[in-house]
Structures are given as structure tokens and as C-alpha cells.
Structure 1
Amino acid sequence: MIDFTNLSYLKSGNERQKRAYEVLKKYQIFEKLKPYSPILAGTIPIEIDIENSDLDIICEVDLKFEEDFLDDIAMSRLMPGDTDVKIENIIINGEKSIVLNFMLEEFSIEIFAQNKPSIEQNAYRHMLAEYNILKEKGEDFKYKIIELKKQGVKTEPAFGLLMGLKNPYEDLLKF
């Protein structure tokens, strides 16, 4: 199985994965986020991305110190100074989260921070489940997922549709 906690797998991936690796390395995103245990999650790591898919980076942040995290982001010059950054505080399943969105070259970047280890966050757990399902079900299933995504269906609901899952966000966590 791929070690998704280490970006090096992107270097030998498809063209989009290689390009994502180049951009993340060029701006030293993971080095700058290292204190927050960053992991690239979502569709690009498991090759079910579509043209407008973003780079989802999940992080562990003690949200009692939210301002310190945001200061670290600013001080580390995570992105070029003229970059437009949208910051949101949201609640997901009763858990406070911070979401930062910005562009780096051709990639939309989303940094998602919760007060729990990155490997325990649902985004990572969903991605691992989806990866395993894709390996089991093969290329035809993978292309069906991609086609649903191109039609505007989000990733988890796409898996839910093809697998008959009643609540894909919860059910995928059981795989």
C-alpha cells in the first residue's frame, strides 16, 4: 500500500501528481506545515481527480490556539504575499475546523485543520477506504467514479451511488 503520509509517491505518479509534487516542493508547503502533521488527502493522491480538483491538505491544529496557527501560516510565508486567502471557521460533525483556500500556480489549495491527528481525520480515512475500494473494484469502477465527479457528484456520494451506500460519509469509514 502507498504511504500517503510521505509525498514521495507523487514523484512516480501520473502527470498531475508529478506536477502537484513540484508545486508543493517549490513552495515548501509540507516543510512549512510540518509542526501540524500535514497529509495530502482527496482525489489527486488516489487518481480520481478531475480538472478542477484541489489539493486538500489536512493538518492537526489545537484550535484553542487558532490565532497562533494563522500567525504561523503568515510568518512562514506559506504562499506568496500577494496571494488571496479565504479563511473559514466551520463545524463538521460537531468539530470545529479551520479551512484556508488559495491558489498556487494552477492548483487550488485547501488546508483543512482540526484538533485531531491528521491520520484520524475523516478526509484521510475516506481516502484510504476509497483507495482500497478502487484497488478491489478495478479500472472500470474508477472511471465510473470519475464520470460521476465530472457530472458534479462529490467523491463520497459517487462511491455511495455505485456501491448502494445509504450514508456514504459514515459507511466509507467502515471499510
Structure 2
Amino acid sequence: MTTFETIDYLKFGSEKQKVAFHTINELGVMEDLLDFDPILCGTIPLGIDVDGSDLDIIMKVTDYKLFETKVKQLYGMEEEFRVKQTSIRGVPVMKANFLYHTFEFELFGHPQDVKKQNAYLHMVIENAILKKHPEIKKEIIKLKELGYKTEPAFCKVLGLTGDPFETLIAYGKHKEIIN
């Protein structure tokens, strides 16, 4: 099974994954933000990306002011840089977005450990599903090209109902993919 703790697996992936690997390393984001335990999540690591898919890097952030200052200092000069604090399911989070070369980056700060954040759990579950059922990859990509978000696309293909973000977590626990 793929380990997502580093981005080394990207070196051996698709052309887009290889370019992502080099772009992330050139920018130095994983090293620059090491104190926040960064992990690349989303569709590019899974090889189910579509045109416009971004590089989502999740982190554990408890000091939003420190995080905001650091990302502004490091990436504030990048094209279309923006940072905002918001709330997801009642939890304060911070997002920084910018363009670097051919990719949009989203740096996502949440107070929870990265391996307990939904983005990470969803990716681990989706990876396990794709390993077990590689035949659904094309269907997932097709749905994404039609505008589906990743979790709803997986739920549709698997015939799962309810809130796709919660349902996928429940599926992962039921199938013992996650605890």
C-alpha cells in the first residue's frame, strides 16, 4: 500500500505526478512547513486528477497567526496568493491558495493531527478502494470531469447514499480500512 507520509511515490507515477513531485520540491513547501506535519492529499496522489486539480497539502495548525505569517512570508509573492480563516463543521481552519508553475496549491491548516483529518482519511480509503477495484478508476475520473467532487463520485460508483464525506468515513471503518 502507498505510504503518503512523503511525496516520494510521485516520482514513479504518471507524468502529472512526476511534474507535481518536482514542482513541490522546487517550491520547497514540504520542508518549509515541516513544523506543521504537511501531507499531500487529494486526487493527484491517487492518479484520479482532472484538468485543474490542485495540490492540497494538509497540516496540523493550532496557531493560526503564526501559520498565516509564515505562509505570507514564504508564498505571499506567488500569483493569486490569498489566505483566509474559516470554519468547517464548527472547527476553525485556515487556507492559503496560490499558483506556482502549472499548479494551484492549497495549504490547509486544521488543529487536528493530519492523519485524523478527513482529507487524509478519505484519501486512504479511496486508495484502498482503487487498489481493490481498479476497474472503477475510469468511472471516477469521468464523474470528476462532469463536475463531481471526489467523495460524491466514489459514493455514486459504490452505490453509497447519504452525506458523501461522512458515508465514505463510515465505509472505511466498516471495511476496516481505517480505525
For 1:1-175, list aligned pairs within 5 A. Answer: 1-62=1-62, 65-75=63-73, 77=74, 79=75, 81-138=77-134, 140-166=135-161, 167-174=163-170, 175=172
Instruction: Show structure 2 runs of 5+ residues with no match.
Output: 173-179
The residue type equivalent to 2:45 in the other structure is P
The residue type equivalent to 2:96 in the other structure is L
Q: d(CA) in 2 for partners of 1:59 and 1:103? A: 19
Deviation, structure 1 residue 74: 2.9
Match of 2:177 in 1: none
Deviation, structure 1 residue 88: 2.1
Deviation, structure 1 residue 84: 2.6
Q: Per-residue CA shift, 1:34-88, capped at 9, x if unaligned?
A: 00000000000010000110000001000xx21111112233x2x3725331212
Q: d(CA) in 1 for partners of 2:8 and 2:26? A: 14
Instruction: Show structure 1 runs of 5+ residues with no match.
Output: none
Q: Hey, which bits of structure 1, 4+ residues long, moved more than 2 A?
A: 79-84
Q: d(CA) in 1 for partners of 2:123 and 2:27? A: 24
Question: How much identity, in percent, do the aligned residues show?
Answer: 37
The residue type equivalent to 1:58 in the other structure is I
Whether contact under 8 Å (2:60, 2:109) holds in the other structure is: yes
Q: d(CA) in 2 for partners of 1:90 and 1:68? A: 16
The residue type equivalent to 1:34 in the other structure is L
Tell me the SS of whatever aligns to 2:30: helix
Tell me the SS of whatever aligns to 1:49: coil
Distance 1:164 1:101, change over 3 A: same
TM-score, structure 2 normalization: 0.91
TM-align CA RMSD: 1.2
Higher RCO (CA-CA < 8 Å; seq separation 6+): 1
Deviation, structure 1 residue 9: 0.6
Pairs aligned (count)? 170
Whether contact under 8 Å (2:78, 2:98) holds in the other structure is: no
Tell me the SS of whatever aligns to 2:44: coil
